[in-house]
Chain A
């Protein structure tokens, strides 16, 4: 009777294990989800469905113990199909006992959550992008001009994000000029300065020019004292001056390599 019931519920892989964890029954959904046929899997231990690192950690023993103790164990995690492919699953293990309380075995219901996990990962990725946008904004402010209003300092991680987004934007929009505005950067240290120089180099490799704007007196002073060589970079004290320079560059038919400031 259990077998018939199991067969009619086609979205849930329902199988039964003996007290040691070996498979005793199998249903159609289980075959579809995990790949093995009943002949192939009955008698095998259910740790076959788990990633090797989980088996090594003793996860399967722990699950059986917990189900035996609490009556039930529920978990979400990676499982393995016959072909070796991983899928994200929701699993419920239920201890089955006779009327005297002796353990007969376990019922195991497995649900494939791959679809849900894909959606979750997508949502996570979008949230990440929105977050990154807030943290490192890259905006086209004029035809051919990209503005990056930096706020705070630039550590390695932020620099990576910045460079990726800025370079992609420059390529997508074919913008000849990028304005890196550091008005919102309170103080500049060697690390941030180095990262800025790296960013300038990378944008130049694409064929666009970078103007560092918002270089106020205190920043200029720090840069000189730190011995940072920005002679190779076009800089301006204010964003407005930088914009003016950008438009100058754009209005010439040819991108000028003039080094006058």
Chain B
């Protein structure tokens, strides 16, 4: 598959935007030539993070960008919001940090699906989560 550089941005303002975000990531990842399982990983990670934006901040933005480094091709996703922020980022990334039954913020799970996940957040200052995943060939 011959990749085409792609980038975009979409607002996360309503619950349905979580689905819109999944579709956008599916399209971008597929276009960049990621295999089926990696596409699913990216879409699933995006779903977790888009939902976090909606649930904890009410509104925010998802941006995506293709990455190219020498012979490698990848996809970068960024989730930005002006919400309450995460008080203890380290704790949020710990396994088992949750408010009941699931993966809580879904962050530890999402991290395992991608190559890099970085969080910038502080109480009252909003949150930015950046994910990067490289194609495996």
Instruction: Tell whether A84 pairs with B4 under 8 Å between CB atoms, given A53-B68, A164-B37.
Output: yes
In the complex, which residues of chain B have a beta carbon less than 8 angstroms from the beta carbon of A84? 4
In the complex, which residues of chain B have a beta carbon less than 8 angstroms from the beta carbon of A160? 37
* Consensus secondary structure, chain B interface: loop
Residue of B nearest to A121 (CB): B1
0/1 interface trace, chain B 1-45, chain A, CB 8 Å (1 if under): 111110000000000000000000000000000000100000000
The tally of residues in A whose CB lies under 8 Å from a CB in B reads 14
Residue of B nearest to A114 (CB): B2
- With the chains together, A183 CA to B3 CA distance in Å? 42
Interface residues in B50-79 by Cβ distance below 8 A to A read: 68
The tally of residues in B whose CB lies under 8 Å from a CB in A reads 8
Interface membership of A72, Cβ < 8 A:
no
Interface membership of A87, Cβ < 8 A:
yes
- With the chains together, A53 CA to B73 CA distance in Å? 13
Which of B1, B2, B68 has most chain A Cβ within 10 Å? B2
- With the chains together, A86 CA to B33 CA distance in Å? 14
Interface membership of A117, Cβ < 8 A:
yes
- From A53, A88, A128, A164, give the contact of B2 (CB < 8 A): A88
Interface membership of A251, Cβ < 8 A:
no
Asked whether, in the complex, the Cβ of A87 is within 8 Å of the Cβ of B2, the reply is yes
Asked whether, in the complex, the Cβ of B68 is within 8 Å of the Cβ of A86, the reply is no
- With the chains together, A86 CA to B137 CA distance in Å? 19
Interface membership of A261, Cβ < 8 A:
no
Interface membership of A85, Cβ < 8 A:
yes
Interface, chain B (partner A; CB < 8 A): 1-5, 37, 68, 137
Would you list 17 pairs from A and B whose C-beta atoms are within 8 A, ordered by A residue? A51-B5, A53-B68, A84-B4, A85-B4, A86-B2, A86-B3, A86-B4, A86-B5, A87-B2, A88-B2, A114-B2, A117-B2, A118-B2, A121-B1, A128-B137, A160-B37, A164-B37
